Amino acid sequence: MPVRSRAFTLVELLVVAVVLAIFAGIVVPQFTGSTQEARESALKSTLASVRKGIDLYYQQHGRYPANGNTDGSSAGCTGATTSVTTQEQGFIVQMMTFSNKDGRICTTRSDNLFPFGPYISGSTMPVNPVNGLSSITVISGTNLIIVGDGPASAGWKYNSQLGLIIPNDTNVDSSGTRYDRY
């Protein structure tokens, strides 16, 4: 009685390789689409959080961040103060530190002299999940339509007079909507 080999034949191995290639061709594009949708969902969530912080700042101060007093030398502040030289810096420190009714900022509450904020957690602007940038461009004006400059210039664009913030990206999402229209 001859001994029979129990190995796979070349044809069987080729069939298995073809089946695996077909499965990979079906599954990989679905993961790619999921990654893009996850970025878009994260962008919408981050944008909603920042917009809520801007709205709360407006309710407590009567003006939008970076549109008024951004002085970092606040009387009564027992914590560190920050030197603010640009509207971008003003927006960031007003959103991420404690403040009083006049919008003066302090890194600590200082015995409730600075009872408001922070409005965004962390020490830097959140990263735009689509273009990977956390920088912000602040503009002034009453033009209700602001558009992104493109994905390489900044993560966010903000109008300090109207309190409008958008992702600074003119690319489109999976549904064809431009990111700067969120």
For residue range 68-96, list pLDDT tens digits in order. Answer: 655 555 666 766 666 677 888 888 888 99
CB of 128 closer than 8 Å to CB of 158 = no
Torsional sign, CA 82, 106, 158, 169? positive
139 and 159 Cβ atoms separated by less than 8 Å: yes
Report d(CA 22, CA 175) in Å as an integer: 27
Residue 30's pLDDT is 67
Backbone angles phi, psi at 101, to 5 degrees: -60, -30
Mean pLDDT value across the chain: 83
pLDDT score, position 74: 60
Task: State the pLDDT at residue 104.
Answer: 81
Residues β-bridged to residue 159: 139, 164
* Domain ranges for the chain: 11-181
Residue 43 confidence (pLDDT) above 90: yes
Average pLDDT over residues 108-127: 85
The pLDDT of residue 106 is 82
pLDDT over 70 for what percent of the chain?
A: 83
Least confident of 9-13, 40-44, 65-69: 65-69
pLDDT at 177: 87
Instruction: Give the mean pLDDT of 85-113.
Output: 83
Q: In this predicted structure, what is the pLDDT of residue 28?
A: 73
Does the structure show a pLDDT above 90 at 113? no
Label residue 18 by pLDDT band (50, 70, 90).
very high
